[in-house]
Amino acid sequence: MTDLEVPVQRTLRRLFPGTRLENAFQWPIESLDALESSFNVQEYLQQLIRADRSQVDKLVELPKGVDDEVWQYEHLRQVCLELGLLVVALAPECTAENCPEMKAEGWLYLCAAHPATQSCPAIDYIIHTLDGATTLLNNAKYFPSRISVPEPSLKHFQSIARRLYRIFAHAYCHHREIYEIFEASNDTSLYARFRLLSRKYELVPPNLITIPDSGEEDEEEEEEEGEDGYSRSPRASHSTLKETE
Ligand SMILES: [Zn+2]
Ligand SMILES: [Zn+2]
């Protein structure tokens, strides 16, 4: 530092090894403008989530000065991060023995994370899907910066969101108690946030979303629609949904 520079009072935002959870992130919330790192949108979003994750309207609302597409990108990265906690919660119950196939809402999903699509146990499907989404979102070829998203990469948002939805759907349909504890009792409101994000940016076709908002009655309505090259058959024990990618 030269003599002419005036030292700026900045909060040191660091998590040191050994910090206890209750002592972590104990720094004041800063405005987006005050966050000067290259990852400021992510940091800002994480601040909002830590402040009150149940205020999903506030979390999804586009902050001033942030690019719409970057906002979706950061949200999807964050949902992938937090879904890891759902995987941990599911692991004791969602085993290869209990759930030998990835099913949800009467559909069987084939895993696209292999040279040829194949059936995976649900927990493997979930992990492969999260790995695939994370790898794609971190691929500098498609997402080279955190301040803009190239137009051709936008299509990936929908395919990622559609697959992430299935993770929620499997948990909701087959492990309801774990899902409820994760979503409501632990107050993650992660599905509520994901659903709002998906609606706002039309990431998942509304007819594919069947998990009700919390408090809504479980709807038994079914819709049949061919979409994106996959076929959907009515709810039945052997209905099949095939991935095309
Ligand atoms: Zn399962
Ligand atoms: Zn797989």
Q: Cα separation of 180 and 187, whole Å?
A: 9
Task: List Cβ neighbours of 119 (8 Å cut-off, separation of 6 or more).
Answer: 101, 102, 108, 110, 111
What is the residue-averaged pLDDT of the chain? Answer: 85
User: Does 8 map to a domain?
Assistant: no
DSSP code, position 66: -
User: Does 9 map to a domain?
Assistant: no
Residue 170, annotated ligand binder? Answer: yes
User: Does 80 map to a domain?
Assistant: yes
Distance 73 CA to ligand 1 centre (A): 28
CA distances from residue 36 to 30, 40, 42, 165, 194 in whole angstroms, order as listed: 10, 6, 12, 33, 27
Give the gyration radius of the chain's Cα atoms: 20
pLDDT-derived band at 5, boundaries 50, 70, 90: low
Interval 83-103: pLDDT, tens: 999 999 999 999 999 999 999
CB 182 within 8 A of CB 176: no
The total number of structural domains in the chain stands at 1
What's the one-letter identity of residue 178?
Answer: I
User: Does 40 map to a domain?
Assistant: yes
User: Does 232 score more than 50 pLDDT?
Assistant: no
Q: What is the pLDDT of residue 212?
A: 82
User: Does 66 map to a domain?
Assistant: yes
Q: Would you state the structure tokens that stand for residue 44, as one six-digit string?
A: 């800002």
Q: Which residue has the higher pLDDT, 199 or 38?
A: 199
pLDDT-derived band at 229, boundaries 50, 70, 90: very low
Distance 3 CA to ligand 2 centre (A): 59
pLDDT-derived band at 4, boundaries 50, 70, 90: low
- Which domain, by its residues, includes 136? 35-207
User: Does 134 map to a domain?
Assistant: yes
User: Does 239 map to a domain?
Assistant: no
Q: Cα separation of 18 and 28, whole Å?
A: 21
User: Does 244 map to a domain?
Assistant: no
CATH number of the domain within which 148 lies: 1.20.140.30
Q: What is the pLDDT of residue 28?
A: 80
Distance 72 CA to ligand 2 centre (A): 26
Interval 99-134: pLDDT, tens: 999 999 888 999 999 999 999 999 999 999 999 999
